């Protein structure tokens, strides 16, 4: 893992630190980058193949899946076009309130995270709304 601090400060909330990561989030599976590349390709193909079954008719759902797909494509492009096949992470955040240095990540990771969490929350509210409709009938 290569680390280069670009902007740093004393207990800064945000720093830009160049780090390469062969693994997934928090360097998980860093010994298997080829499998992560295949998993990313498989995920994109599956999302495209099952897009009609996912019923992404509403704009918010399309945005959520766009964030996920965009994040996957961003990290996948790093893996395919960089030598060695590693993802570049650079956003380093520190939360002084709880004295926690969050693992370094990139914009693609943010897209995947925000899209996935938003979709889970959307699904929970949608499920409650559907149950509410069933009880009214």
Annotated catalytic sites, by residue?
A: 89, 109
For residue 64, give the nearest of 107, 25, 109, 112 by alpha carbon. Answer: 112
- 89 phi and psi, to 5 degrees? -110, 145
Strand pairing class (3-7; 14-21): antiparallel
Helix residue ranges per DSSP H, 29-58: 33-49
């Amino acid at each position: 893992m290569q680390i280069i601090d670009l902007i740093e400060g004393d207990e800064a909330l945000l720093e830009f630190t160049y780090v390469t990561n062969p693994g997934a989030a928090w360097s998980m599976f860093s010994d298997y980058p080829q499998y992560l590349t295949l998993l990313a390709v498989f995920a994109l193909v599956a999302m495209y193949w099952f897009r009609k079954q996912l019923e992404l008719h509403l704009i918010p759902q399309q945005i959520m899946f766009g964030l996920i797909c965009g994040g996957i494509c961003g990290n996948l492009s790093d893996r395919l076009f960089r030598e060695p096949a590693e993802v570049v992470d650079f956003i380093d955040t520190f939360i002084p309130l709880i004295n926690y240095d969050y693992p370094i990540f990139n914009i693609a990771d943010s897209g995947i995270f925000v899209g996935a969490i938003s979709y889970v929350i959307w699904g929970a509210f949608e499920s409650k709304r559907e149950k509410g409709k069933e009880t009214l009938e």
